[in-house]
Amino acid sequence: MWEAFGGAIKVFAEKYLIASIISLIIGTVSYILTPDDFWVLTKLNKIWYFLLISGCMFIFIHGTIVIFHKIQGLRYSLYHKNRISSTNKEALEKLWTLVDGFDQEDRKLLLKFISNGNSPYLVNGNVHYSSEKLLGSQYVHKIQGYKSDNSKLQIVEKFDPIKMMVSSESYVQYVLIEPFYKSIKMSHEKYGQICHFKEV
């Protein structure tokens, strides 16, 4: 029994070493400075008085440590949240500035991609777009193809420039690249806009 009690005390002391040491020191000092005729001391014997003081101090010190760690955790959580929020605002600002640079036709096309879940946008013919246009920018994937005799869309496995130039049935499919699409979609769902202006 005493071995089990001693083992429990050892585990407790190891887990709460600092609080235990400080509470024992304060309990010892308090006991030494307490007059022998102090009414609490006369009600209790010396051992129980010492344990009472040490126990109260341990509860106070341990409670203070717990509260301190919780405050530190809360401060870190708020700092981390504010940091993420600040990073998101910077990314959103860059996104909106980018979309501001597109013309109205491209901004409407972005809304179309959002509404149809980034389904492929088909352009008939072999049309070339400048880098200033959405469909000519780095924010889209494209694939070229042509229609076979049965009018089914066929993907170009081997690019044939002559066939693409002479065929009126050639086409190009576009989709937004995934990171750009997700950013645009989030902006539209959360803020109701994809640029600095509500009207696109």
Q: Which residues contact 31 (CB under 8 A, 6 or more apart)?
A: 46, 49, 50, 53
Same domain, 50 and 79: yes
The answer to whether residues 163 and 146 touch, using CB atoms and an 8 Å cutoff, is: yes
- pLDDT per position as a tens digit, 27-74: 777 777 767 676 666 677 777 777 777 778 788 887 888 888 888 878
Residue 198 is assigned to a structural domain of this protein: no
Task: Residue 78: give the domain boundaries.
Answer: 2-92
Residue 196 is assigned to a structural domain of this protein: no
Count the domains in the chain: 2
Same domain, 83 and 137: no
Same domain, 175 and 129: yes
Same domain, 22 and 85: yes
- pLDDT per position as a tens digit, 10-22: 666 666 767 777 7
Residue 14 is assigned to a structural domain of this protein: yes
The answer to whether residues 18 and 46 touch, using CB atoms and an 8 Å cutoff, is: no
Residue 83 is assigned to a structural domain of this protein: yes
Residue 66 is assigned to a structural domain of this protein: yes
Same domain, 56 and 109: no
The answer to whether residues 167 and 146 touch, using CB atoms and an 8 Å cutoff, is: yes
